[in-house]
């Protein structure tokens, strides 16, 4: 059976479905980016609020202490100035992920009703922010701290080990999702 109204009504239904689906994706991309960005901002705020403890934790995790399973660590114990530089890099990436992500989410939200090309341009800061989060939590934490300094075998290392994997995964999934192009709005 055919619907009353024929092809015109059918095209109108497709337009409504496409508009709804495209708009849903655009809103979700902004919201998910904002949530990951807020998480990054909270982490950097806690790091800064607990700066002496953060420094002590960096010293501990690079000290080769409490490494019983694999006692030989190939990376050297860094001097204090390198630990300070590492902290600045980590905190800067978290800040970029947070502030850049919120700005990117706002840009996407503001462009949610625009053309596909304009919405692609609005994604720029969200992509940069999520990439900064991935570099921080997968590159620095998983790559250097976990693998390089063997944080995985230290009593206080399980939280950062698990957390950085999850946070990096959240940022990577968000980056993949926001990188997917939507069709033009009808």
Q: List the Cα angle 170/43/76 in 5-degree steps.
A: 90
Contact 147, 165 (CB under 8 A): no
Helix axes 6-49, 124-134, angle to 10 degrees: 50
Instruction: For the chain of 186 residues, list the mean pLDDT of each consecutive stretch of 10.
Output: 58 50 89 98 98 96 90 94 98 98 98 93 98 97 94 89 96 97 74
Q: What is the pTM of this model?
A: 0.86
Helix, strand, coil tally for the chain in percent (to 5)? 75, 0, 25
């Amino acid at each position: 059976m055919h619907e009353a109204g024929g092809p015109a009504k059918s095209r109108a239904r497709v337009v409504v479905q496409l508009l709804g689906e495209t708009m849903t994706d655009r809103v979700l991309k902004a919201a998910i980016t904002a949530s990951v960005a807020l998480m990054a901002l909270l982490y950097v705020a806690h790091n800064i609020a607990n700066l002496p403890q953060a420094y002590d934790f960096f010293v501990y995790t690079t000290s080769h202490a409490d490494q019983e399973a694999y006692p030989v660590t190939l990376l050297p114990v860094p001097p204090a100035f390198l630990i300070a530089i590492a902290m600045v890099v980590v905190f800067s990436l978290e800040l970029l992920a947070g502030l850049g992500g919120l700005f990117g989410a706002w840009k996407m939200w503001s462009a949610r009703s625009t053309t596909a090309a304009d919405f692609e341009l609005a994604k720029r800061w969200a992509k940069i922010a999520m990439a900064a989060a991935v570099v921080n939590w997968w590159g620095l934490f998983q790559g250097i701290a976990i693998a390089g300094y063997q944080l995985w075998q230290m009593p206080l290392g399980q939280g950062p080990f698990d957390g950085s994997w999850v946070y990096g995964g959240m940022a990577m999934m968000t980056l993949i999702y926001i990188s997917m192009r939507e069709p033009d709005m009808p």
